[in-house]
Chain A
Amino acid sequence: MSENAIVIDDVTKIYSTGALEVQALRGVSFTIERGDYVAIMGPSGSGKSTLMNLIGCLDRPTTGRYTLDGIDVGTLDDNALAAIRLKKLGFVFQGFNLLSRTNAIKNVALPLFYAGISQREREKTALAMLGEVGLGDRGTHKPNELSGGQQQRVAIARALVNDPAVLLADEPTGNLDSTTSVEIMALFRHLNESGRTIIMVTHDPETARYAKRTIRVRDGLVVSDERSDTVPSALEVT
């Protein structure tokens, strides 16, 4: 297996809605190593979400190659893509997207359910995962009984519960106030320091500062790709 978690090679994405064609990605190439922490930035409509959807195996590129954890994803059918999402990827959304009817443990356990793991095992693992994001005592709370930051932590626990190769987050702090955002970023930092590969889309330069590397896109092209030296440590957070 390669050292690279993700290899994107000259990927394009064209949306055709009727007569109109939108070139959302015009040929993007980059490589993300295992253990890296990447922020993707760019103006609205530049193609960040499109890129995340491709990396997340929710969509397929129009042309180009995408290799995830050594697997050429382009050759896979829908069920195989679902299996990749289940085992190799974890999603964190801007709007948390928890199931409102069910409590935190069940939400976190959901991927394990689809992985066919027994209920006892599921709840045990889910509870441990909640502990890891600092919500060990909130397992039986429903999403509406949790703060926004806590909900996002539950979502992060859910994304991590299957021990994925890559954690994907599209504007994870977009719905949070600045204090809570900092908490979530501290959690991300901590997760990255313990070896998780993270890719995060953000508008906010402050948030992007927590990442080790920033890829900027504009009009469907990568315009810059730089490593930052001044990464704030998790302890620096106030």
Chain B
Amino acid sequence: MLTQIGPFFSEAFAVLLGNKTRSLLTVLGLIIGVAAVISIQILGKGMSGAVTGVLGTLNDRSFFVFPNSRQADVFKAAIKYTDIAKTTSLFPNIVAALPAGGVQRLMTAGHHHARLSLTSESDIAFATVPLIYGRNLSADDIGRSAHVCVLANNGYKRLFPDGGDPVGTSVRVSERRFIVIGVQGAPTAGIVPTNFGGDVLIPYTTFVAEFLRTRPLFAAKFLVRDPSEIGATEVAVIKYLKSIKNGRSEYQTFDRRSFSSSIDGIFTALTLVVSLIGAVSLVVAGIGIMNIMLVSVTERTREIGVRKAIGATSGQVLAQFFIEALLLSGVGCGIGLVLGLAIGAAVDRFALVAISGVVPEIPWVQSVVIAVGFATIVTLVFGTYPAYRAARLDPIEALRYE
């Protein structure tokens, strides 16, 4: 009968410590497997966190269309604004069509000059960047092609290096004046600028009329009414643009949802592969543990005989060897857990945070569950048989064993 389990642990510990090198080599596979699975879990979590961090400010009601870069004549694929403007009447889901990208212009505000990117924007902002002053463009600004502008944080810093509220003052671009109506806050930290929009944002109607004119554009930005239909709308727009080019040009689209789901897809696949590697290493490690346990049972046959002669029950012998297996896999999975967390956290810290500026949460619970699960499975599947072999030994024969 198992009166106390505790002493069995200290006994088993002593045995495993007496064989340090062997014990460590035995659990090496387990360490690697658990560390790999846990670090990739953390990385997966961190990556989707990073994607959210990068794309977090983008709304899901807009998409980009641009010529496929892998075609013979990218320049031929350039589109006229009049063509994309038509889409608002052709496709009921499209609310507005904007030229994407901007033009570089020398701008002046007070005594400060800077060459900055002037970009077209709609009242439904492509990115929802919080404002520090004023307001965003309104439908009215768009409707009457107003000479107003919203400054992205970079534009604000360059034109108003002294800070302060610039709302109501004006920014001069060539001969035109734009009244500042709002200023965006700094984008979240990270090396990928979340501000896709340029430095100075003006109503797209104004932009088309006064800066684009008849110049062809390479990319267009569409705002849709119903984000759940965005995929179908993208397909239809591509088809429409191809028909304009008589099928001789290729286009592709980009929106928040498809981008994050493609990254998620990559990570799901990666996680699956690493989990498979983990599962294989689990089996290999388990067989290693079973092998060493069987060797140990054979080596210690006499000892088992002595223990039984002294009065140990089969159950106590079973417990002894089972707990040795449990400790082996427990230690292995424990080291694997620590190593996996360290690797995962390090990659998170030094790679992902640098990219996205988002500090991902470490999935502690999940990692511990994985490690404990591995240890349990390995012990149950591979520790039971050697322990059973030990328990079943006949004491007389075991005592006679040389």
Instruction: Flag whether B247 is at the interface (Cβ < 8 A).
Output: no
| Chain B hits for A89, CB < 8 A | 311
* Residue pair B395, A83 in contact (C-beta under 8 Å): no
A172 to chain B, nearest CB (A): 14
Instruction: Flag whether B316 is at the interface (Cβ < 8 A).
Output: yes
Given contacts A79-B1, A101-B18, A119-B7, contact A85 B310 (CB under 8 A): yes
Over the window 389-401 of chain B, the binary record of Cβ atoms lying under 8 Å from chain A Cβ atoms (1 yes, 0 no) is 0000001100100
B127 to chain A, nearest CB (A): 67
B68 to chain A, nearest CB (A): 71
Given contacts A78-B314, A79-B315, A97-B399, contact A91 B14 (CB under 8 A): no
Instruction: Flag whether A63 is at the interface (Cβ < 8 A).
Output: no
* Residue pair A82, B302 in contact (C-beta under 8 Å): no
Instruction: Flag whether A115 is at the interface (Cβ < 8 A).
Output: yes
CA distance A86 to B316 in the complex (A): 13
* Residue pair A56, B311 in contact (C-beta under 8 Å): no
Residue in A53, A78, A79, A86 whose beta carbon sits within 8 Å of that of B310 in the complex: A86
Instruction: Flag whether A58 is at the interface (Cβ < 8 A).
Output: yes
Over the window 23-34 of chain A, the binary record of Cβ atoms lying under 8 Å from chain B Cβ atoms (1 yes, 0 no) is 000000000000
Instruction: Flag whether A111 is at the interface (Cβ < 8 A).
Output: yes
Interface of B is mostly: helix
7 nearest CB pairs, A to B: A86-B311, A116-B3, A82-B313, A85-B311, A97-B306, A111-B310, A114-B312
CA distance A99 to B311 in the complex (A): 15
CA distance A180 to B386 in the complex (A): 39
Instruction: Flag whether B123 is at the interface (Cβ < 8 A).
Output: no
Instruction: Flag whether B380 is at the interface (Cβ < 8 A).
Output: no
A77 to chain B, nearest CB (A): 10
Within 8 A of A (CB), among B1-34: 1, 3-4, 7, 11, 14-15, 18
Instruction: Flag whether A221 is at the interface (Cβ < 8 A).
Output: no
CA distance A82 to B318 in the complex (A): 14
| Chain A hits for B15, CB < 8 A | 101
13 contacts between A and B (CB under 8 A): A53-B396, A56-B309, A79-B313, A82-B311, A84-B311, A89-B311, A93-B399, A97-B399, A99-B306, A102-B14, A111-B311, A114-B311, A116-B4
B322 to chain A, nearest CB (A): 16
CB closest chain-B residue, reference A90: B310
Q: A-B contact count, CB below 8 Å? A: 62
Instruction: Flag whether B61 is at the interface (Cβ < 8 A).
Output: no
**Residue in A89, A93, A114 with the greatest tally of chain B CB atoms within 10 Å:** A114
The size of the chain B interface, using a CB distance under 8 A, is 25
Instruction: Flag whether B303 is at the interface (Cβ < 8 A).
Output: yes
CA distance A97 to B7 in the complex (A): 22
Instruction: Flag whether B308 is at the interface (Cβ < 8 A).
Output: yes
Given contacts A101-B18, A113-B7, contact A83 B311 (CB under 8 A): yes
| Chain A hits for B310, CB < 8 A | 85-86, 91, 110-111, 114, 158
* Residue pair B395, A162 in contact (C-beta under 8 Å): no
| Chain B hits for A86, CB < 8 A | 310-312
B92 to chain A, nearest CB (A): 81
| Chain B hits for A114, CB < 8 A | 307, 310-313, 316
* Residue pair B3, A58 in contact (C-beta under 8 Å): no
**Residue in B4, B11, B308, B309 with the greatest tally of chain A CB atoms within 10 Å:** B309
B65 to chain A, nearest CB (A): 74
Residue in B3, B18, B302, B316 whose beta carbon sits within 8 Å of that of A97 in the complex: B302
Instruction: Flag whether A190 is at the interface (Cβ < 8 A).
Output: no
| Chain B hits for A58, CB < 8 A | 308-309, 395-396
Instruction: Flag whether A87 is at the interface (Cβ < 8 A).
Output: yes
* Residue pair A101, B14 in contact (C-beta under 8 Å): yes
Residue in B3, B311, B314, B396 whose beta carbon sits within 8 Å of that of A162 in the complex: B311
Over the window 189-226 of chain A, the binary record of Cβ atoms lying under 8 Å from chain B Cβ atoms (1 yes, 0 no) is 00000000000000000000000000000000000000
CA distance A110 to B306 in the complex (A): 10
B269 to chain A, nearest CB (A): 49
| Chain B hits for A87, CB < 8 A | 311
CB closest chain-B residue, reference A116: B3
CA distance A87 to B310 in the complex (A): 9
Instruction: Flag whether A183 is at the interface (Cβ < 8 A).
Output: no
* Residue pair B311, A115 in contact (C-beta under 8 Å): yes
| Chain A hits for B396, CB < 8 A | 53, 58-59
